[in-house]
Amino acid sequence: MKRLSDIKFSTLDLVPVRENGSAAQSLRNSLDLAQHVEKFGYNRFWVAEHHNMDGIASSATSVLLGYLAGGTSTIRVGSGGVMLPNHAPLVIAEQFGTLESLYPGRIDLGLGRAPGSDQMTARALRRERSGSADDFPEDVAELMRYLGPRTPDQRIIAMPGTGTNVPVWLLGSSLFSAQLAGERGLPYAFASHFAPRFMHEAIRVYRNHFKPSVVLDKPYVMLGVPLVAADTDEQADYLATSVYQRILALMRGQSLVQRPPVKTMDGLWLPHEREAVSDFLGLAMVGSPQKIRAKLDVLVEQTQADELIFTCDLYEHADRVHSYELLAQVMKG
């Protein structure tokens, strides 16, 4: 049985843009956060592809990863994830082959099958390309061929890319990618930071379908976890109101820019909205280190996860850095 101290811990940064802030400042904050969590002992630092969202500045994912890798030295950096239906597999192979060539042994390629946007934006991204979630298994296989060793009869190569064997992860918030990751023998990351309802079933499906591969000889599960750690439970509850406002805005189709915390959410949401936000953040770790340690112990006992990746969207950058620092102390015991 795994204990908390046995678990690797990582960071998923959504590169949040705050009210009256700028994308430029958000990108600089992302690098600063990566540099801090590297010192704190985090295993990897991932950013996710999103489009047409005014509160998230990580749309050009591979470009941002080059900036982050160049400003750090040991932490793994990667995508959590690249939304593969938006791209030709060869393009992603070249981008991540370039990153791996520049920063060897530090690059992860997490792949998702969602558009990372609405359908209108997906069409704007793809134009004549008929990328579809239905093509995902074939696209993953094609991409991995480009990143693998070159074969004698291979007519199209990724340069850079061929022979780099960049580690590929499958990401998901449903059961489709869990089964595919298991059948391909790939590591699997479940998006329990926003879809906790299906977490246990997805883990079960992945492990039951797992077949050993040249990549893995046994299943490897990473779980997304929302984080708001502070010195006291009361302070954490206050800071978390920024997160609640952002999820509420997402559900209402409003601007996703970060809003400052408030003393109370009363009057800002309706009862059914409060319940929906609570469901969305069902796995959230909100509180003091003592409270978070107790909740994480239960999570690890129930899931036997191999790694946890935490996302922390607080209004003040300093509060975010402090939250990750407190968590590192919890994880190290």
Tally Cβ neighbours within 10 Å of residue 165: 15
> For the segment 304-328, what is each residue's pLDDT rounded down to a tens digit?
999 999 999 999 999 999 999 999 9
> For the segment 65-88, what is each residue's pLDDT rounded down to a tens digit?
999 999 999 999 999 999 998 899
- Domain boundaries defined on the chain: 4-331
Q: For residue 1, name the pLDDT band (cuts at 50, 70, 90).
A: confident
pLDDT at 54: 92
pLDDT at 134: 75
Give CA torsion, residues 320, 324, 278, 200, to 10 deg.
150
Write the DSSP symbol of residue 196.
G
pTM assigned to the model: 0.94
Give phi and psi for 315, each to the nearest 5.
-70, -45
Give CA torsion, residues 222, 227, 233, 235, to 10 deg.
170
Whether the per-residue pLDDT at 217 is higher than 70: the answer is yes
For tokens 């936000």, what's the residue? 277
pLDDT at 79: 97
CA 143 – CA 147 distance, rounded (Å): 6
Q: With beta carbons less than 8 A apart as the criterion, state whether 228 and 312 touch.
A: yes
Whether the per-residue pLDDT at 55 is higher than 70: the answer is yes
CA 258 – CA 275 distance, rounded (Å): 21
Q: With beta carbons less than 8 A apart as the criterion, state whether 23 and 288 touch.
A: no
> For the segment 256-308, what is each residue's pLDDT rounded down to a tens digit?
999 999 999 999 999 999 999 999 999 999 999 999 999 999 999 999 999 99
Closest CA to 179 of 90, 89, 113: 113
> For the segment 124-167, what is each residue's pLDDT rounded down to a tens digit?
666 555 556 678 899 999 999 999 999 998 899 999 999 999 99
Give CA torsion, residues 64, 225, 257, 38, to 10 deg.
-40
Please classify residue 16 by burial: count the beta carbons closer than 10 Å to its beta carbon, then call 0-12 exposed, 13-18 middle and 19+ buried.
buried
Whether the per-residue pLDDT at 34 is higher than 90: the answer is yes
Q: With beta carbons less than 8 A apart as the criterion, state whether 223 and 199 touch.
A: yes
Whether the per-residue pLDDT at 93 is higher than 90: the answer is yes
Tally Cβ neighbours within 10 Å of residue 237: 14
The domain defined by 4-331 folds into TIM Barrel (3.20.20)
**Average pLDDT in the chain:** 93
